């Protein structure tokens, strides 16, 4: 029978690098800065902040991270974790970098341990603070790590990494498809590149191809206003499209009505969700076939194409910089967490339109959206499998040998 041990984290580490208490000078380009806000769901999202290449050595005086090291957020939020790849990066505040002792603690295993319920609970048990909670380095060192032999750790990690690798591949494919779709929309409906050789005429928006017209968004979409109080149906399972679920990889949550605390918007098929809350953080979520009892946060605006055949055009428009820049002009509220725009204002967006061109665009876009939806559903399925295996593998309940029978 496989023997499991339990030791303090500090006794299993070869290195702990902590840059808390230091604030780097940020630049527009340079070495990517890994911040707490881009570490989510076991992965590092695209960095948006940088430090100058010339400042790298003077900033990284506490230690240089290596490929495979584990980065862990220590507050706001606590407990998000990921592994570094081979890119040159700098570490920001609110992050520690952990490196297990070779032959004792596998880095990938450590990442998955902190992703598991047992790992998260042990971190949270040592957090301090009131308004913003976090974990001190002295407390982090004392967190108990449960682990089997190094060989078994690597086998556990390999199983979970195989799922995560497929999830990441699907995400990259979807990102590429998304970029292609946005580039196609801009080329056709903003820059008019396929029509440069034709005749152009004056319009309220400037020069547009002859035969085109200017129309408001309200001519193409409607917004759902039907709401439900899930608390009235405590034993019904709802598919909940919440803001946290959006941030958590576009994965709706299945929750009993008793668990949902406020009114929600009833969703229909082929609805496009766009967050009106703090819209400077762009959140867009297209839905296809909606399950029964599907609801979304009232902080989303649910747009629905009046002509279902134009769904992919409407999605591309709402996902465009044209729409995004327009709604930012209507934002009100003092701070980011309280800033919003009204659905009614967004419907007044005017844009150039041609029926035949939109039909052709939709014929090209429909397969792309179908593919991205299919890949997203596969990501959801793989994530569920990983999340099912994770606690069982981290507790030793599920033996490695049992997976190969």
pLDDT > 60? residue 236: yes
pLDDT band at 361 (very low <50, low <70, confident <90, very high): very high
Strand residues in 242-374 grouped as ranges (E): 253-256, 264-266, 271-275, 284-286, 294-296, 300-305, 350-353
Question: 128 and 199 share a domain?
Answer: no
Among 196, 205, 197, 200, residue whose Cα is nearest residue 322? 205
Q: CA 19, 29, 39, 130 torsion: positive or negative?
A: positive
Q: What is the CATH number of the domain that holds 218?
A: 3.90.220.20
Please check whether residues 137 and 195 belong to one and the same domain. Answer: no
Structure tokens at 355: 């029926």
pTM of the model: 0.82
Position 23 in a domain: yes
Q: Has residue 273 got a pLDDT over 60?
A: yes
Helix axes 117-124, 107-115, angle to 10 degrees: 80
pLDDT above 90 covers a percentage of the chain that reads 61
114 φ/ψ angles, rounded to the nearest 5 degrees:
-75, -15
| pLDDT at residue 405, as a whole number | 47
Same-domain check for residues 239 and 352: yes
State yes or no: pLDDT of 289 exceeds 70.
Answer: no
Q: Which residues of 370-390 are buried (b: 16+ CB within 10 A; e: fewer)?
A: eebeebbeebbebbeebeebb
Total structural domains within the chain: 2
Asked whether residue 359 is assigned to any structural domain, the reply reads yes
Most confident of 8-22, 47-61, 93-107: 93-107
Tell me the C-alpha distance between 32 and 52, whole Å.
9
Residue 116 has pLDDT above 60, yes or no: yes
Residue 137 placed within a domain: yes
Q: Are residues 275 and 328 in the same domain?
A: yes
Helix, coil or strand: residue 231: helix
**What residues pair up with 350 in beta bridges, in sequence order?**
216
Residue 217 has pLDDT above 90, yes or no: yes
Kindly report the CA angle at 32 between 26 and 34, in degrees rounded to 5?
Answer: 90
Nearest alpha-carbon partner for 194 in 186, 203, 206: 186
Q: Scanning the structure block, which residue is given the tokens 């191809």?
A: 209
Phi and psi, residue 332, nearest 5°: -130, 160
**If DSSP states are collapsed to H, E and C, what string results for 338-402?**
HCECCHHHHCCCEEEECHHHHHHHHHHHHHHHHHHHHHHHHHHHHHHHHHHHHHHHHHCCCCHHH
Backbone angles phi, psi at 214, to 5 degrees: -105, 125
For the chain, what is the mean pLDDT? Answer: 89
Give residue 201's pLDDT band: very low, low, confident or very high (50, 70, 90).
very high
In this structure, the answer to whether residues 311 and 216 fall within a common structural domain is: yes
Is 186 in the same domain as 140? no
What average pLDDT does the segment 277-284 reach? 84
Q: Rounded to whole angstroms, how far apart are CA atoms 245 and 82?
A: 19
Strand ranges for 19-150 from DSSP E: 26-27, 31-34, 39-40, 43-44, 50-51, 70-74, 78-83, 90-91, 95-100, 144-147
* Helix/strand/coil for 114: helix
**pLDDT, tens only, 156-176:** 999 999 999 999 999 999 999
Does 206 lie in the same domain as 321? yes
Domain contains 329: yes
CA 315 to chain CA centroid, nearest Å? 19
Taking the alpha carbons at both ends of the chain, their separation in whole angstroms is 16
Which tens digit of pLDDT belongs to each residue from 314-350?
999 999 999 999 988 888 876 656 788 888 889 999 9
Burial 126-151 (b: 16+ CB within 10 A, else e): bbeeeeeebbeeeebeebebbbbebe
Query: According to the model, what pLDDT value does residue 402 have?
Result: 56
Do 20 and 125 fall into the same domain?
yes
Considering all CA atoms of the chain, what is the largest pairwise distance in Å, rounded to the nearest integer? Answer: 80
384: its two tokens: 């569920």
Query: Domain check: are 257 and 352 in the same one?
Result: yes
Q: Are 261 and 316 in a shared domain? A: yes
Domain boundaries, position 24: 5-147
Closest CA to 245 of 43, 54, 380, 51: 380
Take residue 72 and report the two structure tokens written for it: 């862990």
Question: Quick one: which of 171, 164, 161, 179 has its CA closest to 375?
Answer: 171
C-alpha closest to that of 16 among 143, 103, 134, 157: 143
Q: Looking at the domain assignment, is residue 272 inside a domain?
A: yes
Q: Residue length, the chain? A: 405
Q: What stretch of H or E contains 188?
A: helix 150-189
């Amino acid at each position: 029978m496989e023997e499991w041990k339990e030791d303090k984290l500090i006794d299993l580490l070869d290195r702990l690098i902590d840059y808390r208490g230091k604030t780097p000078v940020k630049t527009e380009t340079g070495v990517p800065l890994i911040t707490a806000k881009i570490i989510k769901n076991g992965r590092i999202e695209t960095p948006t902040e940088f430090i100058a290449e010339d400042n790298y050595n003077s900033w990284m005086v506490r230690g240089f991270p290596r490929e495979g090291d584990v980065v862990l957020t220590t507050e706001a939020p606590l407990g998000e974790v990921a592994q570094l790849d081979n890119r040159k990066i700098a570490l920001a505040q609110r992050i520690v970098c952990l490196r297990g002792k070779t032959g004792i603690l596998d880095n990938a295993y450590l990442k998955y341990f902190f992703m598991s319920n047992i790992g998260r609970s042990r971190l949270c048990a040592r957090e301090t603070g009131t308004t913003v909670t976090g974990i001190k380095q002295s407390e982090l060192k004392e967190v108990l790590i449960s682990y089997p032999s190094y060989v078994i750790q690597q086998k556990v990690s390999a199983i979970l990494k195989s799922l995560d690798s497929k999830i990441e591949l699907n995400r990259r494919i979807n990102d590429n498809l998304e970029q292609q779709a946005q580039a196609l929309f801009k080329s056709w409906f903003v820059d008019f590149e396929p029509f440069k050789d034709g005749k152009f005429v004056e319009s309220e928006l400037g020069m547009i191809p002859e035969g085109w017209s200017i129309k408001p968004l309200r001519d193409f979409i409607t917004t759902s206003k039907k709401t439900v109080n899930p608390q009235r149906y405590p034993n019904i399972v709802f598919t909940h499209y919440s803001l946290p679920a959006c941030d958590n990889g576009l994965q709706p949550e299945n929750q009993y009505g008793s668990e949902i605390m406020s009114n929600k918007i009833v969703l229909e098929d082929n609805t496009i969700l766009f967050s009106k809350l703090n819209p400077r953080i762009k959140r867009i979520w297209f839905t296809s076939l909606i399950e029964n009892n599907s609801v979304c946060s009232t902080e989303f605006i649910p747009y629905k194409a009046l002509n279902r055949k134009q769904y992919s055009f409407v999605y591309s428009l709402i996902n465009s910089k044209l729409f995004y820049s327009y709604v930012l002009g209507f934002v009100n509220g003092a701070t980011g967490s309280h800033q919003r725009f009204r659905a009614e204002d967004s419907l007044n967006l005017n844009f150039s339109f041609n029926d035949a061109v939109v039909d052709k665009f939709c014929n090209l876009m429909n397969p792309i959206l179908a593919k991205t939806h299919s890949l997203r559903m596969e990501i959801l399925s793989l994530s569920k499998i990983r999340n099912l295996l994770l606690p069982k593998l981290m507790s030793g309940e599920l033996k490695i040998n049992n997976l190969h029978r």
